[in-house]
Amino acid sequence: MPPAASSVTPRRILSLARPEARRLSAGVFFLFIGSGLSLLFPQAIRLIIDEALGARDQALIDRATLWMTVIFAVTAVANALRYYFFTSAGENVVQALRERLFSHLVSQEVAFFDNSKTGELVTRLGADTAVLQQSVSGNIAMALRSGAQVLGGVALLFYTSPTLTLLMLTVVPPVVVVAMVYGRRMRLTSRRVNDEHAASNAVAEEIFVGIRTVRSFAAERHEGGRYSVALAKALALARRRTQLSAFFIGGSTFGGFIAGSLVLWYGSRLMLRGDLSIGSLTSFLVYTTLVSMSVSGLTDLWADFMRASGSAERVFDLLDRKPGMPISGGERIDPLQGHVEFQSVRFAYPTRLDAPVLKDLNLAIQPGEVVAIVGPSGAGKSTIAGLLARMYDPQGGSLLLDGRDLRTVDPEWLRQQIGVVAQEPMLFSGSIFDNIRYGRLDATEAEVEAAARAANAHDFVCRFPDGYRTSVGERGVQLSGGQKQRVAIARAILKDPRLLVLDEATSALDAESEHLVKDALERLMRGRTTLIIAHRLSTVLGADRVLVLEGGQVVQSGSHASLMEQEGLYRRLVERQFAAA
């Protein structure tokens, strides 16, 4: 069943065009001039045939030709201006729509992205909005032009011969009915074609992002196959759409010819009876051609519009999606001490609600305390960090910051208070400078450099020929693991947060980098409430307290020394996991 959105969508597409009303009105103005003037052409033909040729009046032919040239020139200018105004309006509309959709998408909660494919979202943002541009700039203009030509043409046909006009119009109702049925199928098919295109883009994007893995498994051919399968689905549907169009184009052409033949047949009879002049019949035929071309143009546009509706539905679905969590708004805690408490927290990822990660988790961290969390892989250590930064909300219990429920705190402010150094830091394409400054977008050059020094990054940065202007590549691929970590630390230092979350890298760096990173981290932790997801013995040794996580709960807590004295998970973990260290 087509969704209820179908009746709303055309109106919504038009409503997008509202801010461009001035340009569009200018476009409409020139459109009416252009199409109005083109309707005068058959009148000139009639004049020349009936008046000038009959009377052998050379001067009248000259005058009529001159006027025709003037009319063509004005029509040409009007058409050019119409095109300009409509197209630029379309471009503006799509730009505004993309901005709106983008900021709406980035405001969605993290769980939304767990469940979406990036390639698909990018397709919605790029390709689907581009189809809408076509709709606004080309199609509205053409529809108005064709509509005006049909109305004007039919009026002039009536003026020339009412009976002939009624005869000609008998072909219109069947064409309209067919167009309605066809338009509906077109919209549904287009929507599916777009979905398949988006899916194939998602496959390609995933492969590009993971090219190193693909290469190391020599899986290029396998991935090529996966992409081909995705493309084939899109192609099969696109072929269905093309068949629909082809059938329809054939039908509407046939309708046009039928109308022309009827007019010629009956018009000739009228002429033989002396009820119609040759000039009138000729101009009538030209009008008929014009009108039937416009009608078939309109039906094509109808198809295009339905195609655009297919894209628009997806775009509007996304625009209508309410974020599951606000990104700003709420109270701020001033001054923030940095006391963190988890009270009976229950949590499962929204994509996997039946697999609870945290069950009745209780923990408290004092301001300035450094707490290390250890536990088996998959125990939920990173999840705790994610909840603290409010990437997700727990399903039960609460998180308190200085005694206030995290849900009442302004998320934007909260994230300014938390510095996260992830296991594999995410850098954005741009320079090292830009990436460090991501910590505080208004930081000066000197502040960025000071942060880099404190993060032990300054020396390696200076060894690059371009220094801080060195590009890091997409996702930071042009930097080593240890370098990326130090850039991420510099970023956190610049941010100067009250709370710190460190997700320690599982893969060991070489001794020198390890030392530099550790040294930088120690400087960063000073005086901040710190939660470390620990993978190294040296880290737990340096922590004020160690929490041992298992089965979604804290099962042990205490200093390394006290925990080692107890029989329990911690001692086993240390003996196994940290044995090498």
Ligand X SMILES: Nc1ncnc2c1ncn2[C@@H]1O[C@H](COP(=O)(O)OP(=O)(O)OP(=O)(O)O)[C@@H](O)[C@H]1O
Long-range contacts of 244-247 (CB under 8 A, 24+ apart): 244/182, 244/185, 244/186, 244/189, 245/186, 245/303, 247/182
Comparison of 239 and 352: residue with beta carbon closer to ligand X: 352
Using the rule CB under 6 A, is 99 a contact of ligand X?
Answer: no
Comparison of 63 and 576: residue with beta carbon closer to ligand X: 576
Using the rule CB under 6 A, is 536 a contact of ligand X?
Answer: no
Comparison of 458 and 545: residue with beta carbon closer to ligand X: 545
Shortest spacing between CB 121 and ligand X, in angstroms: 17
Shortest spacing between CB 114 and ligand X, in angstroms: 5
Query: Which one of residues 107, 337, 382, 557 is an interface residue with ligand X (CB under 6 A)?
Result: 382
- Two tokens at 419? 């510095």
Q: Is 317 within 8 Å of 172 (Cβ atoms)?
A: no
Shortest spacing between CB 550 and ligand X, in angstroms: 10
- Please give the span between the terminal C-alpha atoms of the chain, in angstroms, as a whole number: 62
Q: Which stretch binds ligand X (CB under 6 A): 60-68, 92-100, 375-383, 557-565?
A: 375-383
Return d(Cα 402, Cα 411) in angstroms, integer. Answer: 15
The binding track of 314-353 with respect to ligand X, each residue x by CB under 6 A or -, is -----------------------------------x-xx-
Q: Which stretch binds ligand X (CB under 6 A): 33-41, 42-50, 378-386, 429-437?
A: 378-386
* Crossing angle of helices 445-454 and 481-495, rounded to 10°: 120
Using the rule CB under 6 A, is 380 a contact of ligand X?
Answer: yes
Instruction: Give Cα separations from 523 to 296, 516, 517 (angstroms).
Output: 73, 11, 10
Q: What is the 3-state secondary structure (H, E, C) of 511-541?
A: HHHHHHHHHHHHHHHCCCEEEEECCCHHHHH
Shortest spacing between CB 391 and ligand X, in angstroms: 9
Using the rule CB under 6 A, is 216 a contact of ligand X?
Answer: no
Comparison of 252 and 556: residue with beta carbon closer to ligand X: 556
Comparison of 216 and 377: residue with beta carbon closer to ligand X: 377
Comparison of 308 and 406: residue with beta carbon closer to ligand X: 406
Query: Which one of residues 58, 377, 442, 446 is an interface residue with ligand X (CB under 6 A)?
Result: 377
For residue 546, give the H/E element and its range: strand 545-550
Residues between 114 and 173 that touch ligand X (CB under 6 A): 114
Return d(Cα 406, Cα 314) in angstroms, integer. Answer: 34
Q: Is 88 within 8 Å of 303 (Cβ atoms)?
A: no
Neighbours of 85 (CB within 10 A): 23
Q: Which stretch binds ligand X (CB under 6 A): 173-181, 379-387, 393-401, 480-488?
A: 379-387
Say how far residue 240 (Cα) sits from the centre of its chain: 26
Shortest spacing between CB 382 and ligand X, in angstroms: 3
Q: What is the dihedral of CA 348, 353, 354, 360, to 10 degrees?
A: 30
Shortest spacing between CB 528 and ligand X, in angstroms: 21
Comparison of 110 and 130: residue with beta carbon closer to ligand X: 110
Comparison of 349 and 413: residue with beta carbon closer to ligand X: 349
For residue 174, cis peptide bond before it (omega within 30 degrees of 0): no
Shortest spacing between CB 360 and ligand X, in angstroms: 16
Q: Strand pairing partners for 371?
A: 531, 545
Return d(Cα 15, Cα 28) in angstroms, integer. Answer: 16
Comparison of 274 and 378: residue with beta carbon closer to ligand X: 378
Return d(Cα 312, Cα 129) in angstroms, integer. Answer: 7
Shortest spacing between CB 388 and ligand X, in angstroms: 12
For residue 317, give the H/E element and its range: helix 278-320
- Two tokens at 59? 């001067």
Q: Which of 48, 73, 74, 76 is nearest to 62 (CA)?
A: 48
Using the rule CB under 6 A, is 507 a contact of ligand X?
Answer: no
Comparison of 363 and 493: residue with beta carbon closer to ligand X: 363
- Two tokens at 422? 């992830």
Shortest spacing between CB 429 and ligand X, in angstroms: 24
Shortest spacing between CB 373 and ligand X, in angstroms: 8
Residues between 106 and 125 that touch ligand X (CB under 6 A): 114
Q: Which of 131, 277, 117 is nearest to 194 (CA)?
A: 131
DSSP state of 323: P
Comparison of 29 and 112: residue with beta carbon closer to ligand X: 112
- Strands of 413-477, DSSP E: 418-421
Neighbours of 334 (CB within 10 A): 7
Counting residues that bind ligand X (by CB under 6 A) gives 13
Shortest spacing between CB 351 and ligand X, in angstroms: 5
Judged by DSSP in three states, 360 sits in strand
Using the rule CB under 6 A, is 379 a contact of ligand X?
Answer: yes
Comparison of 352 and 515: residue with beta carbon closer to ligand X: 352
Query: Which one of residues 64, 357, 432, 479 is an interface residue with ligand X (CB under 6 A)?
Result: 357
The residues near 390 (Cβ < 8 Å, ≥ 6 apart) are: 325, 399, 406, 411, 414, 415
Using the rule CB under 6 A, is 378 a contact of ligand X?
Answer: yes
Shortest spacing between CB 363 and ligand X, in angstroms: 14
Shortest spacing between CB 380 and ligand X, in angstroms: 4
Q: For binding to ligand X (CB under 6 A), which residues are involved?
A: 114, 349, 351-352, 357, 375, 377-383
